[in-house]
Amino acid sequence: MADAGRPHGSDKDSLGNILKVAISMCLVCSIVVSTAAVVLKPLQEINKELDRKQNILRAAGMLPQDSKRAADGRGIEELFAEFDIRAVDLDTGSYVDAVDVTTFDPIKSARVAALSRELTVDEDIAVIGRREKVSLVYVIAGESGIEKLVLPVRGYGLWGTLFGYLAVEGDLSTIAGLGFHQHKETPGLGGEVDNPAWKALWPGVALFDDAGEPAVRLVKIRSPESNSDARFEVDALSGATLTTRGVENLVNFWTGELGFGPFFAALRTDLQQKSGDRD
């Protein structure tokens, strides 16, 4: 026998040796994985931030859906620099200056009882459970007022919450675009929210009816252009009624009284005052 005469303690296949090797391997691997996680974290944060900017620009129609450059050659950072990021108190509609908008995360706030409000079943048409007290808005303002406004929106579809951005034109009542950067809907069904052809149906749609109430409707058959309801309508997603209903509800929730409604009202008052001053 080859092992004859070898002292029992030096057996390399012994349980002690196997455990030593296994533990050393685990230790080395965990050090490699945690070092990689720590070293790559800043890079991941930069990429996440770039992705957020890209999604906002795409919703606003300032960046093509399939490119990282605008037609005039400007890149994401240059285009995004046009936006002013502001925090808004959703209950009053006023700007809040005591918030660092570069680090503030409204979604995280929504999970904290003191920083959010619980919605009743009747209020919660977007099925988000809690709504943050303060959110962020992305504004491009010119001499005559707001030119473009982008709002973070979210709501439940069929399989989970859809997170996106709704862009609004300077008239504060016409949609400039809508895009979702995170959702769990089925590709080919609810996942068609990402289809550029469907997204192209949103610009120009009217947000509010004559009474100022959110009025967007996702419909299987659109009204004739001559019908005044046609301005609120977007095609439903075929075979995805639940996602469709979720999208309609989330748009109307975030533009309504419990969402950015008070902010829209404050902006309209501001706009009226400015035009009054000019007259």
The footprint of ligand FMN (CB under 6 A) covers 158, 185-186, 189-190, 239-243
How far apart are alpha carbons 7 and 9 in whole angstroms?
6
We find the least distance from the C-beta atom of residue 247 to ligand FMN, in angstroms, to be 10
We find the least distance from the C-beta atom of residue 195 to ligand FMN, in angstroms, to be 13
Residue whose CB is less far from ligand FMN, 62 or 218: 218
Question: Which tokens belong to 273?
Answer: 């005052």
- Burial class of residue 218 (count of CB atoms within 10 Å of its CB; 0-12, 13-18, 19+): buried
Q: Which residues of 36-65 are buried (b: 16+ CB within 10 A; e: fewer)?
A: eeeeeeeeeeeeeeeeebbbbbbbbbbbee
How far apart are alpha carbons 128 and 135 in whole angstroms?
14
Residue whose CB is less far from ligand FMN, 164 or 190: 190
In sequence order, the β-bridge partners of residue 126 are none
Residue with tokens 């706030």: 109
Residue whose CB is less far from ligand FMN, 95 or 159: 159
DSSP 3-state of 106: helix
Distances (CA, A) of 203 to 120, 160, 197, 278: 31, 25, 12, 30
Answer whether 157's CB lies under 8 Å from 246's CB: yes
We find the least distance from the C-beta atom of residue 164 to ligand FMN, in angstroms, to be 15
We find the least distance from the C-beta atom of residue 223 to ligand FMN, in angstroms, to be 19
We find the least distance from the C-beta atom of residue 237 to ligand FMN, in angstroms, to be 7
We find the least distance from the C-beta atom of residue 190 to ligand FMN, in angstroms, to be 3
Q: What letter does residue 226 receive in the DSSP assignment?
A: T
Residue whose CB is less far from ligand FMN, 54 or 244: 244
Residue whose CB is less far from ligand FMN, 167 or 218: 218
The whole-angstrom distance between residue 267's C-alpha and the CA centroid of its chain comes to 22
Residue whose CB is less far from ligand FMN, 174 or 241: 241
We find the least distance from the C-beta atom of residue 130 to ligand FMN, in angstroms, to be 24
Residue whose CB is less far from ligand FMN, 160 or 196: 160
We find the least distance from the C-beta atom of residue 248 to ligand FMN, in angstroms, to be 12
Residue with tokens 């004859």: 4
Residue whose CB is less far from ligand FMN, 96 or 242: 242
What are the φ and ψ backbone dihedral angles of 131, each rounded to 5 degrees? -120, 130
